[in-house]
DNA sequence: ACGGATGCTGTTACCGCTAACATACCGCAG
DNA sequence: CTGCGGTATGTTAGCGGTAACAGCATCCGT
C-alpha cells in the first residue's frame, strides 16, 4: 500500500506512451512529472495550470487539465507547502466537541474561512492543559498560517510556543486575562456579574449555584467569580452549591437540582453554569409542579439552540459563539478591520435573555 | 511575519555564537540546523534524537534535547513527511458536527488512535456531496495514512479518488451498499425494519413518520425505507409524514408533532428520524397531557445521551457510534483482527431500547 | 528597424528533513 | 598487530513541488 520506491525513469517511460485509456496505472501515486509527461509540457507549466497562477495559453491549459483529470492526479500539498513556505491551514484548538458550544464556533470559523483558501484543522484537548500543549505542538509542526485557541490559560511551554510561532494567534471565548497576541471573546466575569444583578433585581435572595467540577474550565470559574462578586456587593452569598462531572448533562441537571432543592428548601434561585444542566433542572422543576419563576427562578449560560424547544424558555446569556468564530477567522485571514495590526483584544457583549424563568 | 528568505549562512554565523541566553532570536523560524549548531552535532544526529530513532549516546542526546528545548524548536513535519514519505494523519470526513452523533464517533476514533502515533483530522461536508468531494480532495492532497468517511454514497469523482488513493479507506455508519474498501456500520434498512416490527407487535396501527428533509441523508432515508417495507409486509402503510430542515431540532420536533397530531388525529404512533426531534415531540405530548405510550407511542433513533435526562425514556435504537469509531480507527491503524487484509465489511447490530414510549 | 513590453514556457536552485550509506572509533578475539 | 563486529556520528541524495529568473517569440510605438 505504501508508495514503493521503484526507480522512476524506467517505470515511467514504459508506463505512459501517451496512450489515452482512462486510469493507466493505479499503482504508484502520481506526481507532477506524470502529468507533465502525459501532456507534453514541463512540470512547471503543469504546476502553473493546476494552481491557476501565471500565464498559460488556453490550449496548453486545457491539455494539462485534461491529462490531470484523466490520470486522477491529486497534488501533493506537502511538497507544495515546503517549496512555497505557505500552508493554507489554520489550527483550531478547543476543549471539547460534545459541548454544543464549540461546534457553533467552528461554524463561524468555517464560514468565514470558506472563501479565503484557508482550511481549519481541529484539535481537541478535553480540558487538559497537557493535552493542549501536545496538540498545539503537533499542530505547529505543520506550520499553519494561524492559530485559534480557546481560552487564555495555557501551560508555560504552550505560551512560549504561541509567542514564538511567528504567526497570528487568536485566543477565543474569553478576554479576562492577557492574550499572547489577539483575543476575541466576552468577559465571563462580567457575564456572571450581570446575571447576578438581574437575579437580585428580580427579588431573589436565596441563590444556589450548580455547575461543572472541571478545574480547567476557567470560563465557568470566572462566571462564578463574577457572580459571587455581585452577590457580595448586594450583601448576599450563595446559599448552596453543587458540582458534577461527566455523564449526561441534562440528567445531571435534573439530579443536582433535586439534591439542592431537597437539601436547601429555602433556595429560590438556581444558577447553572451551562444551559444543558439548566434545561435538566427546568424539566425537573416543571415535572415536580414547582412554580417557575414564582417559587424558584432558574438561569443558565450559553444560549444554545436546544432551549427553543423547551416548554418554557430558560433565562440565559448568549455567548456570541458564532460571532467569536467569525471574528477570530477574520483576524487570521487578515480581513478584520482592526486585526491588521495584531494584538487586539476584541470584546463582545452577550445579551441577557430573561426568558420565562426569572420573574418580573 | 512570514519566514523571510534571508541568506542562511551569514545570518546564522553571526546569530548563534554558541552563546546560552534562553531564546536567542525569535525572528526566523528555527530549523534542525539551528539546533545542530547550538549543540555542536550534525543535523542528522539531532533528527535522530528528536525522533528517538537510532543509536545516540546519552551525553549527546541530552545536549541536543537541552538545546532544542532552550531554543523552542518545533520540528517541521512538512519537511519530515516529504522526506520520509510518511504522514501520521488520518482524514475523517463527516457530514456535521452539530449532530451529537459524529462527535461520539470522533471520540471512538481519537481514543483508538491515541497510542498509535496517528492523528485524526476532521473535515465537515454539511451533507453536500460536492463539498464532500472537495474536502476529500483537499485532505488527500496532504497524503494521509488513511481515510475514514461517513456513508457509502459519494460522487463519482470522490469514489475514484478513494479507490486510487492507495491507502486504507473505511466507510462508516452504513453498510447497505458496496464500499470502496472497508466498511463499518449498521444496516439502517434493517434498523428501520426492526423498529417497525416492534411497533406493530405492540399493537400500533396508525403510524406517522417525522424526519429530515435532507435529500442527502441517505441513512435516514434507508431507515425509512426499511420501516415502510416492514409496514407493507404487515399490510400497513404510513398514515402521515412530516419533514423539516434546519432550526432547533427539539423545537422542530415539537412543531411537527403538533402539526401531525392536529392533521391526523387518528395517529397512534410517531416514528422520528432522530432522537432530538423525538425528544421535542415527547416533551410536546407530555405537555399536552397525551397518554404516552397508551394513546400515542413514540420512537426515535440514535440513543443519544440527552435522552437520559428526559422525564420518561424515549424508545430508540443505539447506533453503535462509539464502536464504529473504534473499529474504523483500528482498521486504519492495522490493529483490527480482520482488517489486516482490507476490504472487510463489518456489520454492527444496534439494540432496540423500548424505553417508556412503546407500550407492552 | 529597433528597444522594450508582453506572453508563454523552461531551467535551476532550493524548502527542511530523513533513508541509506559511509566513516570513525572502540574493544577484543585470533 | 590485524581484522571484525558493534556503536556513534557524519555525508549524500533526494522527497515533490515552487520562486525566481532566463529564454524566446510576438507585438508595439516611434
Tens of pLDDT, residues B110-123:
999 998 999 999 99
% chain A with pLDDT above 70 = 91
Sequence-distant (≥ 6) Cβ neighbours of residue A294 within 8 angstroms: A359
D strand bases under 7 Å from protein CB: 7-20
pLDDT(A9) > 80: no
pLDDT(B101) > 90: no
- Name the residue closest to the C1' of C8 by its CA: A56
Alpha carbon of B221: minimum distance to chain A alpha carbons (Å): 24
pLDDT classification of B16: cutoffs 50, 70, 90:
very low
pLDDT(B196) > 60: yes
CA dist., res. A91 & res. B74, Å (int): 15
Sequence-distant (≥ 6) Cβ neighbours of residue B179 within 8 angstroms: B152, B169, B171, B343, B345
Residue-wise pLDDT for B246-303, tens only, equals 889 999 999 999 999 999 999 999 999 999 999 999 999 999 999 999 999 999 999 8
Whether residue B149 contacts residue B173, with contact meaning beta carbons closer than 8 Å, is answered with: no
% chain B with pLDDT above 70 = 91
Print burial letters for A101-120: b (CB count within 10 Å at least 16), e (below 16): bbbbbbbbbbebbeebebbb
pLDDT(B329) > 50: yes
Please identify residues in chain B, positions 28-57, with a C-beta within 7 angstroms of any atom of strand C. Answer: 29, 31-33, 43-44, 47, 50-51, 53
Q: What is the pLDDT of residue A18?
A: 37
Q: What is the pLDDT of residue A16?
A: 37
Burial (Cβ within 10 Å: 0-12, 13-18, ≥19) of residue B328 = buried
Q: Is the bond preceding residue B242 a cis peptide, omega within 30 degrees?
A: no
Mean pLDDT in residue range B218-240: 97
- Name the residue closest to the C1' of D12 by its CA: B44
Q: What is the pLDDT of residue A27?
A: 60
3-state secondary structure of A37: helix
Task: Provide, in whole angstroms, the distance separating residue B42's CA from nucleotide D5's C1'.
Answer: 25
Whether residue B256 contacts residue B277, with contact meaning beta carbons closer than 8 Å, is answered with: yes
Whether residue B49 contacts residue B75, with contact meaning beta carbons closer than 8 Å, is answered with: no
**Nearest chain A alpha carbon to B131:** A114
- Nearest CB among B78, B124, B279 relative to A81 is that of B78
Task: Provide, in whole angstroms, the distance separating residue B80's CA from nucleotide D24's C1'.
Answer: 39
Please list the helix, strand and coil fractions of chain B in percent, rounded to the nearest 5, in that order.
45, 15, 40
Side-chain half-sphere CA neighbours of A149 within 13 A: 31
- How is residue A261 written as a grid cell? 432543592
From residue A245, how far is each of A131, A208, A224, B108 by CA, in Å? 19, 18, 16, 20
Residue-wise pLDDT for B299-315, tens only, equals 999 989 888 999 999 99
pLDDT classification of A20: cutoffs 50, 70, 90:
very low
What count of residues does chain A have? Answer: 360
Mutate to test the interface with A, among B27, B71, B72, B74 (most CBs of A within 10 A): B74
Alpha carbon of B57: minimum distance to chain A alpha carbons (Å): 26
pLDDT classification of A340: cutoffs 50, 70, 90:
low
Q: Is strand D in 7 Å reach of the CB of A177?
A: no
Q: Is strand C in 7 Å reach of the CB of A78?
A: no
pLDDT classification of B360: cutoffs 50, 70, 90:
confident
Residue-wise pLDDT for A57-101, tens only, equals 999 999 999 999 999 999 999 999 999 999 999 999 999 988 888
Mean pLDDT in residue range B5-22: 36
* Inter-chain contacts counted by CB atoms under 8 A, chains A and B: 145
Q: What is the pLDDT of residue B98?
A: 81
% chain A with pLDDT above 90 = 82
List alpha helices for B165-248, DSSP H.
188-201, 218-233
**Residue keyed to cell 496512450:** A19
Q: In chain A, what residues touch B100 (CB-CB under 8 Å)?
A: 98
Q: What is the pLDDT of residue B52?
A: 93
Q: What is the pLDDT of residue A339?
A: 56
- Nearest CB among A85, A103, A283 relative to B97 is that of A103
Q: Is strand D in 7 Å reach of the CB of B117?
A: no
pLDDT(B6) > 90: no
Residue-wise pLDDT for A195-204, tens only, equals 999 999 999 9
Which helix (H) or strand (E) covers residue A121, if one does? Answer: strand A119-124
Among A1-10, A211-220, B167-176, the least confident range: A1-10
**Residue keyed to cell 435504537:** B317
Q: Is strand D in 7 Å reach of the CB of B189?
A: no
Residue-wise pLDDT for A110-151, tens only, equals 999 998 999 999 999 999 999 999 999 999 999 999 999 999
Give chain A's mean pLDDT: 90
pLDDT classification of B339: cutoffs 50, 70, 90:
low
pLDDT classification of B27: cutoffs 50, 70, 90:
low
Q: What is the pLDDT of residue B1?
A: 36
- How is residue A288 written as a grid cell? 415536580
pLDDT(B107) > 80: yes
Q: In chain A, what residues touch B308 (CB-CB under 8 Å)?
A: 247-248, 250-251
Q: In chain A, what residues touch B143 (CB-CB under 8 Å)?
A: 29, 76-78
Mutate to test the interface with A, among B78, B84, B247, B287 (most CBs of A within 10 A): B78
pLDDT(A3) > 50: no
DSSP string, B92-125: EEES-STTSHHHHHHHHHHHHHGGGT-EEEEEE-
Contact B72 A280 (CB under 8 A): no
DSSP string, B172-183: EEE-SS--SSEE
CA dist., res. B72 & res. B41, Å (int): 18
DSSP-derived secondary structure letter, B315: B
- How is residue B179 written as a grid cell? 464500499
Burial (Cβ within 10 Å: 0-12, 13-18, ≥19) of residue B159 = middle
Amino acid at each position: 500500500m505504501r508508495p514503493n520506491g521503484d526507480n522512476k525513469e524506467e517505470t515511467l517511460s514504459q508506463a505512459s506512451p501517451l496512450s489515452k485509456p482512462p486510469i493507466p496505472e493505479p499503482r504508484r501515486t502520481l506526481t507532477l512529472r506524470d502529468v507533465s509527461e502525459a501532456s507534453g509540457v514541463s512540470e512547471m507549466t503543469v504546476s502553473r495550470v493546476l494552481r491557476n497562477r501565471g500565464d498559460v495559453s488556453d490550449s496548453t491549459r486545457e491539455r494539462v487539465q485534461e491529462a490531470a483529470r484523466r490520470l486522477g492526479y491529486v497534488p501533493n500539498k506537502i511538497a507544495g507547502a515546503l517549496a512555497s513556505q505557505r500552508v493554507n491551514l489554520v489550527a483550531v484548538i478547543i476543549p471539547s466537541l460534545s459541548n454544543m458550544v464549540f461546534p457553533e464556533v467552528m461554524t463561524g470559523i468555517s464560514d468565514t474561512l470558506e472563501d479565503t483558501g484557508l482550511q481549519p484543522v481541529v484539535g481537541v484537548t478535553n480540558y487538559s492543559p497537557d493535552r493542549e500543549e501536545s496538540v498545539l505542538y503537533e499542530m505547529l509542526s505543520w506550520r499553519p498560517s494561524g492559530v485559534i485557541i480557546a481560552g487564555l490559560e495555557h501551560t508555560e511551554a504552550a505560551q512560549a510556543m504561541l509567542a514564538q510561532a511567528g504567526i497570528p494567534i487568536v485566543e477565543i471565548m474569553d478576554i479576562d486575562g492577557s492574550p499572547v497576541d489577539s483575543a476575541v471573546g466576552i468577559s465571563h466575569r462580567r457575564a456572571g456579574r450581570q446575571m447576578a444583578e438581574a437575579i437580585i433585581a428580580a427579588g431573589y435572595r436565596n441563590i444556589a449555584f450548580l455547575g461543572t467540577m472541571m478545574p480547567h474550565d476557567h470560563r465557568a470559574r470566572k462566571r462564578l467569580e463574577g457572580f459571587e462578586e455581585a452577590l457580595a456587593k448586594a450583601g448576599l452569598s450563595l446559599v448552596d452549591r453543587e458540582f458534577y462531572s461527566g455523564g449526561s448533562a441534562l440528567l445531571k441537571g435534573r439530579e443536582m437540582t433535586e439534591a439542592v432543592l431537597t437539601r436547601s428548601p429555602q433556595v429560590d434561585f438556581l444558577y447553572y453554569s451551562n444551559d444543558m444542566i439548566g434545561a435538566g433542572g427546568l424539566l425537573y422543576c416543571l415535572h415536580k409542579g414547582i412554580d417557575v419563576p414564582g417559587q424558584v427562578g432558574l438561569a443558565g449560560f450559553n444560549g444554545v439552540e436546544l432551549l427553543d424547544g423547551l416548554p418554557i424558555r430558560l433565562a440565559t446569556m448568549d455567548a456570541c459563539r458564532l460571532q467569536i468564530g467569525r471574528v477570530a477567522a477574520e483576524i487570521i485571514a487578515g480581513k478584520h478591520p482592526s486585526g491588521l495590526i495584531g494584538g487586539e483584544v476584541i470584546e463582545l457583549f452577550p445579551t441577557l435573555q430573561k426568558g420565562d424563568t426569572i420573574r418580573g
